[in-house]
A and B are shown apart, each in its own frame.
Chain A
Amino acid sequence: MGNRTEEDYNFVFKVVLIGESGVGKTNLLSRFTRNEFSHDSRTTIGVEFSTRTVMLGTAAIKAQIWDTAGLERYRAITSAYYRGAVGALLVFDLTKHQTYAVVERWLKELYDHAEATIVVMLVGNKSDLSQAREVPTEEARMFAENNGLLFLETSALDSTNVELAFETVLKEIFAKVSKQTQNSTRTNAITLGGAQAGQEPGPGEKRACCISL
């Protein structure tokens, strides 16, 4: 995936990062969008986001990644942020079983608030700490398969699979959007589907919240 100038993009895909607090959501985001990692990152309060524009074939995709606080109390307020999300990375810490044990609860919440067609990847983060592993790869992989989720293990610290994780999710979303486009009569104005169907999207309308799969 290559970088492009930020103004120039064909699609905006909103992707949310969810999972228990302390699993490394913020570092996955900063590794992907800024190639940075912080050992002492503060807890995320509320919602923050960052973007990166990547090329998929000839299409420029602006990935707008929303980072949410992991604490339960915040969920009522962050639920609004699921709106318009076309992708999600459900992150757990593979060295803390407790963060994996609650994945199902997160999944339920995600499907309660987001579109059913949302692309979801289960991400076991902190693979650099393999000696402290508490969640076997195969167990998580099986869970992902049974629930129709993509799956990868990553390390935001040493960068392993971070790029691949986001890229895979974005490609999957792109494939869905392209398929939808082929079914549509307007082949080059899909940008942002749904609400504006039938209208020519203006320059200001390339917004994540308008994408519908």
Chain B
Amino acid sequence: MGAPSRRESASDTAPLQRSQSLPHSVTVALGGTSDPSTLSSSALSEREASRLDKFKQLLAGPNTDLEELRKLSWSGIPKSVRPITWKLLSGYLPANVERRPATLQRKQKEYFAFIEHYYDSRHDDAHQDTYRQIHIDIPRMSPEALILQPKVTEIFERILFIWAIRHPASGYVQGINDLVTPFFVVFMCEHIEEEDVDAADVSRVPADVLRNVEADTYWCMSRLLDGIQDNYTFAQPGIQMKVKMLEELVSRIDEQVHRHLERHEVRYLQFAFRWMNNLLMREVPLHCTIRLWDTYQSEPEGFSHFHLYVCAAFLGRWRKEILEERDFQEDASVSMEDSLSDGAQELRASSKRTSWRKAFQARPLCAEC
């Protein structure tokens, strides 16, 4: 784990177009030492313990300094404080400690009022297609051991259905279902003993606790989606634009790979569509996604713009394999994806990512091009 990064000011909302001072050597290992699955609590390194202390100090005050929290979270959030930190970073939980219980209560009440009001309409003509799609998609998600537990399936169905009918501009689109999982898993971790949520028996969790987790998951997912809704509106303009931007970015930072793909007629849309649509969740294991989201939630436009640079770094990670591939007509997507999932554990969001952004900012990227 490198030193906590000194990231740019939070007021910067156009990371692609501004020049700003950036760290020279930020190295963040995704799935590295701060990762909960590779580190048991008893084996906390000194560094990790001190990081956790910093979080605890920051969270102990009557008003949480969100700017500091973002800085600290950028390079990974310790597992034990991740649930509260995510709720704060997403703007769901107020910075003021005294306001939190009432806010949570109100939001949870509001969510269950939606359920009462709308959920029975899932079999109506107007909504049955939406519900059917959600219903058939959920069993086709991972991690199966968790998702296939009836209580969890029901929670996901409710969250997705309510979100879909309250957001008719996009409605439910395959891929949105994946975005529920990290929130649900992180918030569940507070209430189970198992180290691994996959192995947890959710039916043993008290009903009122599950209700709160469900409401919290709904609201945090909604906030995430607010920032990327054009990914899912008709014709998915957000994704089309981001794929074009990725192409433009790669053409600048790695001309050799870009030309290679071009020569072999591999279209960016072929491989990067899913990277954007599912935020790389199909490409990396869940614990990597969770770690990645620590950073995304610390960035002003993490899930939209910053994700682009992560995708570029991800492509860069496979440049050797890509350049060796001569016949993409065969199975471009398949062979690339195989190697992607095999190597996902090694995913590193390195200094490259920030230096690329620097290069990019020097020559503003036209979003329309």
Binding site for B on A (CB under 8 A): 6-7, 12, 21-22, 40-43, 45-51, 62, 64, 69, 71, 73-74, 76-77, 80, 98, 207
Evaluate contact between B140 and A46: CB separation under 8 angstroms.
Answer: no
Instruction: Give the complex CA separation of A45 and B270 in angstroms.
Output: 10
A-B contact pairs, 17 of them (CB 8 A): A6-B327, A7-B327, A12-B329, A22-B136, A42-B142, A45-B273, A45-B277, A46-B273, A46-B277, A48-B334, A49-B332, A49-B333, A51-B329, A73-B236, A76-B234, A77-B269, A80-B269
CB distance from A70 to the nearest CB of B (A): 9
Within 8 A of A (CB), among B256-280: 265, 269-270, 273-274, 277-278
Binding site for A on B (CB under 8 A): 132-133, 136-137, 140-142, 144, 170-171, 173-175, 232, 234-236, 239-240, 265, 269-270, 273-274, 277-278, 282, 327, 329-334
Chain B's closest residue to A70 (CB) is B174
CB distance from A28 to the nearest CB of B (A): 15
Contacts of A47 in B (CB 8 A): 269-270, 273
CB distance from B13 to the nearest CB of A (A): 27
Evaluate contact between B140 and A41: CB separation under 8 angstroms.
Answer: yes
Instruction: Give the complex CA separation of A17 and B20 in angstroms.
Output: 48
From known contacts A21-B174, A45-B278, A73-B236, infer whether A50 and B331 are also in contact, taking CB-CB under 8 Å.
yes
CB distance from B145 to the nearest CB of A (A): 11
- Which one of B141, B142, B235, B327 contacts A76 once the chains associate, using CB atoms below 8 Å? B235
- Extra contacts, 18 of them, besides A12-B329, A21-B133, A51-B329 (Cβ < 8 A), are A6-B327, A21-B136, A21-B137, A22-B140, A40-B144, A42-B140, A42-B142, A45-B174, A45-B278, A46-B269, A46-B277, A49-B270, A50-B334, A51-B330, A64-B329, A73-B173, A77-B273, A207-B265
Contacts of A73 in B (CB 8 A): 170-171, 173-174, 232, 234, 236
CB distance from B302 to the nearest CB of A (A): 21
Chain A's closest residue to B273 (CB) is A46
Evaluate contact between B133 and A42: CB separation under 8 angstroms.
Answer: no
CB distance from B274 to the nearest CB of A (A): 4
Instruction: Give the complex CA separation of A74 and B240 in angstroms.
Output: 12
Instruction: Give the complex CA separation of A80 and B282 in angstroms.
Output: 23
Instruction: Give the complex CA separation of A207 and B334 in angstroms.
Output: 19
Chain B's closest residue to A76 (CB) is B235
Chain A's closest residue to B270 (CB) is A47
Instruction: Give the complex CA separation of A62 and B330 in angstroms.
Output: 9
- Which one of B240, B274, B329 contacts A45 once the chains associate, using CB atoms below 8 Å? B274
- Which one of B235, B274, B327 contacts A46 once the chains associate, using CB atoms below 8 Å? B274
Evaluate contact between A69 and B174: CB separation under 8 angstroms.
Answer: yes
Evaluate contact between A76 and B334: CB separation under 8 angstroms.
Answer: no
Contacts of A62 in B (CB 8 A): 329
Q: Which of A7, A21, A43 gathers the greatest number of chain B CB atoms within 10 Å? A: A43
Contacts of B175 in A (CB 8 A): 45
Instruction: Give the complex CA separation of A45 and B332 in angstroms.
Output: 15
Q: Which 3 A-B pairs have the closest CB atoms?
A: A46-B273, A76-B235, A45-B274
Contacts of B334 in A (CB 8 A): 48, 50
Instruction: Give the complex CA separation of A74 and B171 in angstroms.
Output: 12
Contacts of A41 in B (CB 8 A): 140
From known contacts A48-B334, A71-B173, infer whether A42 and B141 are also in contact, taking CB-CB under 8 Å.
yes
Evaluate contact between A43 and B329: CB separation under 8 angstroms.
Answer: no
CB distance from A36 to the nearest CB of B (A): 11
Contacts of A21 in B (CB 8 A): 133, 136-137, 174
Instruction: Give the complex CA separation of A62 and B144 in angstroms.
Output: 36
Evaluate contact between A77 and B327: CB separation under 8 angstroms.
Answer: no
